[in-house]
Amino acid sequence: MASERRPTFVLPRGTCDTHVHIWGPFDRYPVAKGAPYTPPERNRDDLVALHARLGIDRAVIVQTTVYKSDNRAMLDAIAASNGAWRGVALVDESFGDAEYKTLHDGGVRGVRFGFLQHLGGVPDLALLKRTADRIAGMGWHLVLHLDAGSILAFEELLRSLRLTVVVDHMGRVPVPEGIDHQAFRILLDLLQQPNWWVKVSGAERISAAGPPFRDAIPFARRLIEAAPDRTLWGTDWPHPNVRWEPDEADLVDLLPEFGDAAALQRVLVDNPARLYGFA
């Protein structure tokens, strides 16, 4: 059952949750055949209620492997948001000019590729490179769902990318590995390049201590220090495949530990507005 607690920390006006997912209603948007997991239904109305509780004004819906490249649920939710939501799509080889135009007109501004074994493993790297070339000219960005192992294994590929790239969930370097872990050092080095961004989301994914996930704070602080104008934040609601089901109010209440008011204004409001074209 969802929490009803409101966070203690009051978010600034215009805060954007840059990492949420929508599943359902399943009678209209059924799960894709061969999906790696079957989630509970969490639809647009559930997200609206969550953001009302937290005090969030904007959102970016990130397509998950549950729907593969069928982006209809996301596009319909964005269309009903009165301009407050954007999207990150999944695509496949069949996507051409018409499909990309539909996505762009529908509020999509990025394409995601995942490298995690439990979600299908390494993507088609040729498709990733072709997609990167295609969307760069559209002003879109690439979103990469990596973990420590894939950062190490694909460092050469990562360094070759020239378009805007956003890394999900702090690179998923586990807290016990520490901020001196080689994969985290690579991520910090990538963030020295002006095309690399990162989300300080997923505290519940990298934590070893559990709720309220305070052991993730040093990772978030270091990333914001490294790229204050290219860091984003998100709840990752509804938290697929997590060890601990977080109360999103706890995630919001971690934010004052991530940086001062000026830093949080950039991370929560200014940076996502610039990347996603919010007014």
Q: pLDDT (tens digit, 0 to 9) for every residue of the chain, 279 residues total? A: 468 999 999 999 999 999 999 999 999 999 999 999 999 999 999 999 999 999 999 999 999 999 999 999 999 999 999 999 999 999 999 999 999 999 999 999 999 999 998 777 899 999 999 999 999 999 999 999 999 999 999 999 999 999 999 999 999 999 999 999 999 999 999 999 999 999 999 999 999 999 999 999 999 999 999 999 999 999 999 999 999 999 999 999 999 999 999 999 999 999 999 999 998
**Whole-model pTM over 0.95:** yes
Would residue 1 count as lying in a domain? no
Would residue 6 count as lying in a domain? no
Q: Over the stretch 45-97, which tens digit does the pLDDT of each residue have? A: 999 999 999 999 999 999 999 999 999 999 999 999 999 999 999 999 999 99
Would residue 2 count as lying in a domain? no
The active-site residue, picked from 17, 46, 236, 270, is 236
The single-letter DSSP state of residue 23 is B
Would residue 236 count as lying in a domain? yes
Q: What is the CATH number of the domain that holds 115?
A: 3.20.20.140
Question: In terms of residue numbers, what domain contains 233?
Answer: 16-276
For the chain, the domain total comes to 1
Contacts 24+ apart (CB under 8 A), 72-76: 72/29, 73/22, 73/23, 73/24, 73/28, 73/29, 74/22, 74/108, 75/102, 75/103, 75/106, 75/107, 75/108, 76/44
Report the phi/psi class of residue 277: left, alpha or beta, with left for phi > 0 and alpha for psi in -120 to 50.
left
Would residue 175 count as lying in a domain? yes
In the residue annotation, 168 being an active-site residue is answered as no
Look at residue 119 in the predicted model and tell me its pLDDT: 73
